[in-house]
């Protein structure tokens, strides 16, 4: 009787094929999820860029128009206000940022409707309106949404504030070197200008860092939010008589926005800003008006 060979089972090969198919399917699913995640990030980046560009074009355009022709600038500011409100409706996630940005054209229109005879009075009206409207919006309409801030102890402030003052004084020296021939408040007493400079500093920090940069960081990358704050801070200086003013505003704006980006603390940025302005006025008093 011939010896028969037992039949070999095909199960091991079938199991191996099934395992390969499962691995391929798992890999395809992983690639699909990765692609969807990358696509969402890309679309968010595109959305952030358009929100950024939307605000920059609207507000920088208003400042340039005011610098070139104030009468035309009034209408441009009204148009920018409408544009920003449309942004608030188009992008609900950016609504707070858009409304915050809309404060600037409102302040410009207030300044235009209350014409003043001197540069000092014009500046006072602008910054008083900016500070008042920024505080009203922050503490009346968004009180239920607290700002994130770096909590510092008294010891922390004792170390940090002197450093901020030094930074502000360094910026003051730079500003004095660039703008000493373009001082616009020479017909006003220095103590009055110095007191007003502190108000200007708090107004700028309440708006550019406390509203614009902080609200922008909620809908876009923090670096892009800081850049938006720097651009708008620089644009506000377009109304001055020299092109060195926007350059110095760019330098100081980078320092202030970077400080807020790292520390999320308006006390620190306001200290830098106030020290910078007071240091500049002190240098003017010591070297120009003596």
User: Tens digit of pLDDT for each residue in 176-195?
Assistant: 999 888 888 878 888 899 99
Domain total for the chain?
Answer: 1
The answer on pLDDT for 150 being more than 80 is no
> pLDDT tier at 1 (50, 70, 90 boundaries)?
very low
Distance of CA 55 to the CA centre of its chain: 11
Q: Which residue has the higher pLDDT, 239 or 88?
A: 88
| pLDDT at residue 224 is higher than 80 | yes
Distance of alpha carbon 56 from alpha carbon 229, whole angstroms:
10
Asked if the model's pLDDT at residue 39 lies above 50, the reply is no
Q: How confident is the model at residue 5, as a pLDDT?
A: 53
pLDDT tens track for 83-135:
999 988 888 888 889 999 999 999 999 988 887 788 888 899 999 999 999 99
Tens digit of each residue's pLDDT (9 = 90 or more) over 53-82:
889 998 998 888 888 888 888 899 999 999
Indicate whether 14 belongs to any domain: no
The whole-number average pLDDT for the span 3-22 is 59
In 170-192, which positions are buried (b, 16+ CB within 10 angstroms) versus exposed (e)? ebbebbbebbeeeebbeeeeeee
Whether residue 87 is contained in a domain is answered as yes
Question: pLDDT at position 145, please?
Answer: 57
pLDDT reported for residue 118: 86
pLDDT at 188: 84
Q: What is the pLDDT of residue 26?
A: 74
pLDDT at 142 over 90: no
Q: Is residue 10 part of a domain?
A: no
Residue 18 has pLDDT above 70, yes or no: no
Residue ranges of alpha helices (H) inside 180-221 are 190-204, 214-216
Which residue is associated with the tokens 């920003």? 84
Does a structural domain hold residue 7?
no
Q: Tokens 């409707």 appear where?
A: 113
CA distance 144 to 22: 50
**Cα-based angle 266, 123, 101 (whole degrees, multiple of 5):** 50
Q: What is the pLDDT of residues 243-262, one digit of tens each?
A: 888 999 999 999 999 999 99
Residue 235 placed within a domain: yes
Dist CA 252 CA 254 (whole Å): 5
At residue 247, the pLDDT reads 92
Query: Buried (b) or exposed (e) across 5-44, using 16+ Cβ within 10 A?
Result: eeeeeeeeeeeeeeeeeeeeeeeeeeeeeeeeeeeeeeee
Range of the domain at 202: 28-287
Lowest mean pLDDT across 10-19, 59-68, 211-220, 272-281:
10-19
Residue 246 near residue 234, CB atoms below 8 Å = yes
The verdict on residue 65 lying in a domain is: yes
Provide the pLDDT confidence category of residue 27 given band limits of 50, 70 and 90: confident
Is 104 a domain residue? yes
Percent of the chain predicted with pLDDT > 90: 47
Does 130 map to a domain?
Answer: yes
Secondary structure (H, E, C), 51-113: HHHHHHHHHHHHHHHHHHCHHHHHHHHHHHHHHHHHHHHHCHHHHHHHHHHCHHHHHHHHHHH
Mean pLDDT over 22-40 rounds to 63
Sign for the pseudo-dihedral over CA of 228, 43, 217, 82: positive
Which tokens hold the place of 27? Answer: 């890999």
CA–CA gap between residue 165 and residue 282 (Å, rounded): 14
End-to-end CA distance of the chain: 129
């Amino acid at each position: 009787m011939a010896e028969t060979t037992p039949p070999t089972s095909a199960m091991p090969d079938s199991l191996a094929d099934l395992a390969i198919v499962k691995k391929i399917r798992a890999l395809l699913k992983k690639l699909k999820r990765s692609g969807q995640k990358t696509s969402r990030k890309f679309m968010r980046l595109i959305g952030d860029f358009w929100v950024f560009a939307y605000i920059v074009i609207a507000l920088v355009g208003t400042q340039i128009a005011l610098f070139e022709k104030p009468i035309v600038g009034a209408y441009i500011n009204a148009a920018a206000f409408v544009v920003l409100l449309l942004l608030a409706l188009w992008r609900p996630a950016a609504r707070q940022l858009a409304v915050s940005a809309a404060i600037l054209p409102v302040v410009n229109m207030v300044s235009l409707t209350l014409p003043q005879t001197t540069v000092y009075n014009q500046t006072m009206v602008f910054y008083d309106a900016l500070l008042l409207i920024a505080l009203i919006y922050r503490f009346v309409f968004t009180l239920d949404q607290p700002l994130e801030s770096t909590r510092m102890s008294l010891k922390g402030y004792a170390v940090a504030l002197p450093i901020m003052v030094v930074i502000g004084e360094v910026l003051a020296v730079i500003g004095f070197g660039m703008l000493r021939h373009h001082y616009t408040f020479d017909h006003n007493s220095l103590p009055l200008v110095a007191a007003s400079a502190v108000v200007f500093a708090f107004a700028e920090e309440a708006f550019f860092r406390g509203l614009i940069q902080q609200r922008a960081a909620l809908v876009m990358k923090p670096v892009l939010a800081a850049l938006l704050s720097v651009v708008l801070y620089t644009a506000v200086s377009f109304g001055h008589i020299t092109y060195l003013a926007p350059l110095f505003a760019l330098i100081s704006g980078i320092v202030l926005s970077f400080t807020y980006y790292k520390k999320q603390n308006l006390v620190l940025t306001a200290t830098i800003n106030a020290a910078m302005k007071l240091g500049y006025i002190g240098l003017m008093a010591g070297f120009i008006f003596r």
